[in-house]
Amino acid sequence: MNIPPRPARIEWSPEGGVCFWWETMGLGFGQGVTLPATRETLLKALVARWAAIVGDHTTVDEFTRNVLRLRRPEQWRDAVTDALLGDWVHRLGSYLSDPELMQVLHEYTAAEHRRWQPLWERKAKGGRVFLSSNVIAEGISLEDCLTDHRTAEEAALHSSLGNESVRSVLRGLQPDEATVAAYWAQGAGTWMEAAHMAGVAEAYGERVRRKLRRLGARQTERAAVSGVSR
């Protein structure tokens, strides 16, 4: 009766390769048995994982090109490296098949690629995002063509100030307190720094912060009572 060998243990060789030991009919260990075709992806993935650990970019790129079938592997190197170092190895004990392993590696790689991709290389609603410093003509950048130079933070602040709840809280501040709050909201840094920019004692900034918290909590309670009464 011909009983196919089964893997008994996996070891890393001193050179960084993978050494498979096979057990045949329970009679001990031996080498030289051909690896079943259904586990070729696992072997290549483990070799590539070790290459990622030791910084062997050439082997990782070969895995990207020949196994994951991704062109321009150098552009995928960071994503594939992080994917290989992921927690997919913890699922090997559940007899993860090669097709399942390939799907997992592709999913991990795609997720890591999105994470590594800079914002200005992504698309939003079908359109591409560009840096404001992007040159569109000789000596002219995209920023030179903008008519509204407000930052996203400033736009968000402007929108918040139009909220009646926020305006109700701010009306409870004295002029100096409102000035400190305005500097802090515009990105002054800490409340102490905001107070310094407003020309008052730095301790005044902490006083404004505590007062805003009290006013905000009071406004929240009023809104809750108003909602219940309705």
* The predicted structure's pLDDT at residue 157: 63
145 class by beta-carbon count within 10 Å (0-12 exposed, 13-18 middle, 19+ buried): exposed
At 3, the pLDDT band (50, 70, 90 cuts) reads very low
Q: What are 10's strand-pairing partners? A: 20
Q: What is the mean pLDDT of residues 48-74?
A: 93
Per the CB < 8 A criterion, the answer to whether 204 and 195 are in contact is yes
The residue that leads in pLDDT, 34 or 163, is 163
The residue that leads in pLDDT, 157 or 187, is 187
- Model pTM? 0.45
Distance, CA of 39 to CA of 57 (rounded, Å): 23
Enter the tokens of residue 149.
Answer: 């130079």
* The predicted structure's pLDDT at residue 120: 76
At 10, the pLDDT band (50, 70, 90 cuts) reads very low
Mean pLDDT of the chain: 78
- Does residue 73 surpass a pLDDT of 70? yes
Q: What is the mean pLDDT of residues 196-223?
A: 90
Across 76-80, 94-98, 153-157, which has the greatest mean pLDDT?
76-80
CA distances (Å), 220 to each of 43, 164, 171, in order?
A: 59, 12, 15
Q: What are 11's strand-pairing partners? A: 19
In 3D space, the residue among 117, 139, 137 whose CA is nearest the CA of residue 129 turns out to be 117
Q: Domain limits of the chain?
A: 35-117, 119-149, 152-225
* The predicted structure's pLDDT at residue 204: 93
- Does residue 22 surpass a pLDDT of 60? no
Q: Answer positive or negative: Cα dihedral of 203, 204, 205, 207.
A: positive
